[in-house]
Amino acid sequence: MVTSFEHVRDNLAAAMEAIERAAGSVGRDPGEVRVVAVTKNHPPQAVRAAAQAGIRIVGENRVQEAMEKRRELQDLDVQWIMIGHLQRNKVRKALETFHQVHTVDSLELASSLNRVLMETPDARCPVLMEVNISGEASKHGVSPDLAQPLGEMILSRCERLDLRGLFGVGPLVDDQARIRASFASLRRLRDQLEAALGIHLPELSMGMSSDYPLAVMEGSTMVRLGTCLFGPRRGF
Ligand SMILES: *Cc1c(COP(=O)(O)O)cnc(C)c1O
């Protein structure tokens, strides 16, 4: 586990170089890609080190863990983003803890978020829709063929949610071509939804430590990096 500032800084620099190479290989501007530091199962010092190294977005998978970290890190100027499966009974705490929720994958969850936001005048939350691009049954996310109906429902019924794009987890396989194809499918789905819904969906959160260069080649705007910044996680 890596929590010293120097290590995290060097790891981040290496990741930024890989992002630049991947973006360059397809003629993309690497400046379109932001790094989300995934700090689940890492201590608050890891988040602090990442912020010192220039990270501005922190992703956490569990509401309780993120709440505890935020309490210790109130001075940090970072955005906290929910990237784990969100249970409906945690929605209220999630909205107190996170600036954005990137794992909206059902109308029930979207409606719960909207209902809690409605209690506060003008409260809004940027969200991404999580799509199951791996085809693996154990993964969360709406199936691609239900993404458009869900998007329509969010737009028509959840006025306090700002739908900003899509979120996906690539398949856990070694076949690079298959992983890349799943990222390409998320980008195409985004393009289709933009046309069908008539809104701009600028964000594509895809790519983790093992596959982020492929995601960048396919249009990722947010790569979610845990292991390659902080080393292996505690307890796994
Ligand atoms: C844990 C996690 C990551 C980071 O994974 P690494 O392989 O450690 O980079 C990214 N996205 C999600 C949704 C995660 O749960």
59 vs 97: CA distance, rounded Å: 11
Residues in Cβ contact with 176 at an 8 Å cutoff, skipping those fewer than 6 apart = 211, 214
| Nearest residue (CA) to ligand 1, atom 5 | 226
pLDDT in tens, 147-156: 999 999 999 9
Residue from 83, 98, 224, 230 to probe ligand 1 pocket by mutation (most atoms less than 8 Å from CB): 224
Coil, strand or helix: which one is 137?
coil
Identify which of 1, 8, 36, 38 to mutate to test ligand 1's pocket (most ligand atoms within 8 A of the CB). 38
* Three-state secondary-structure class, residue 203: strand
Ligand 1 interacting residues, C-beta cut-off 6 A: 38, 40, 61, 83-84, 169, 208-210, 224-228
For ligand 1, the distance from its centroid to the CA atom of residue 208, given in whole angstroms, is: 6
Q: Looking at residue 193, what is its pLDDT?
A: 98
Best CA proximity match to 131, nearest among 185, 91, 174: 185
Beta bridge partners of 202: none
This prediction's pTM: 0.96
Q: Say how many Å lie between the CA of residue 122 and the centre of ligand 1.
A: 32
- Amino acid at residue number 47: V
| CA distances, 18 to each of 45, 161, 184, 202, 235 (Å) | 25, 33, 19, 22, 28
Ligand 1 atom with the shortest distance to the CA of 233 = 8
pLDDT tens for 167-210 read 999 999 999 999 999 999 999 999 999 999 999 999 999 999 99
Mean pLDDT per 10-residue segment, the chain (236 residues): 85 98 98 98 95 97 97 96 97 98 98 98 98 84 97 98 98 95 98 98 98 98 97 75
Dig out the tokens for 6 from the structure. 């120097």
Interval between CA 204 and ligand 1 midpoint (Å): 15
Nearest CA to ligand 1 atom 6: 226
- Find the 75 Cα to ligand 1 centroid distance in Å: 25
**120 CB burial (10 A radius; 0-12, 13-18, 19+):** exposed
| Atom from ligand 1 closest to the CA of residue 212 | 9
